[in-house]
Structure 1
Amino acid sequence: MVLVAAVVVAAASLLPIRQYRDQGKSIERAKREVIELQERREELKLQLARARDPKVVERYAREQMSLVHEGDEIFRIVVPADIINLPRAWYLPGVDFLITGTSQ
């Protein structure tokens, strides 16, 4: 009977130790998450500071939205698409005859 009581007391004392260990792990995860969120917050603060800089906003508008000022000269480079050699009268048989009067 004493042995059973000792086992019950030992088992009951292990439960709080396990909970304490699990809570410690949970606290460590929460601390890491807080550090990550603080770092992200600092990154966002820097982005916000840059977004408030008129020169950065103007550069972005010029590059992404093609902003031009009066007197600016615009040069646009257009790369031609690759030429595809399609077979003659590829679209419909007989259309070439209707257009040119000849057939192949």
Structure 2
Amino acid sequence: MMDNIDEVSDKRIKVLKEIEKDKVRVVRAYNKRVKDKSFQVGDLVWKTILPLGMKSNKFGKWSPSWESPYRIVKVIFGNSYMMETLQGDCLPRAINVRYLKKY
């Protein structure tokens, strides 16, 4: 009876080690494809048309998904950015990095 318990605990330890190896492999594969986005003050960026789903239906599926270039004015806590147009008009709210891409 005690031998079975020892065998079960050994098998559990073995399986846990295999799960840890698989997790490390998955993390490595994920990190290969993920690119970190960050911008500095003064960078030019495109902004997605917000709110999502409010694009003009004039051109159908060929309507633009991104709005004209904006300049980063202030970095807020690493993920959000205050922006202004090239004419100098500030946007009222900060925009999250997931809605921006490099110009």
Bin the TM-score by the shorter chain: 0.3 to 0.5
The structure with the largest strand share of the pair is: 2
Look at both structures and tell me which one has the larger radius of gyration over its CA atoms: 1
Higher relative contact order (CA 8 A, sep 6+): 2
TM-score using structure 1 length: 0.37
Task: Please state which structure has a larger fraction of its residues in helix.
Answer: 1
Return the TM-score normalized by structure 2: 0.37
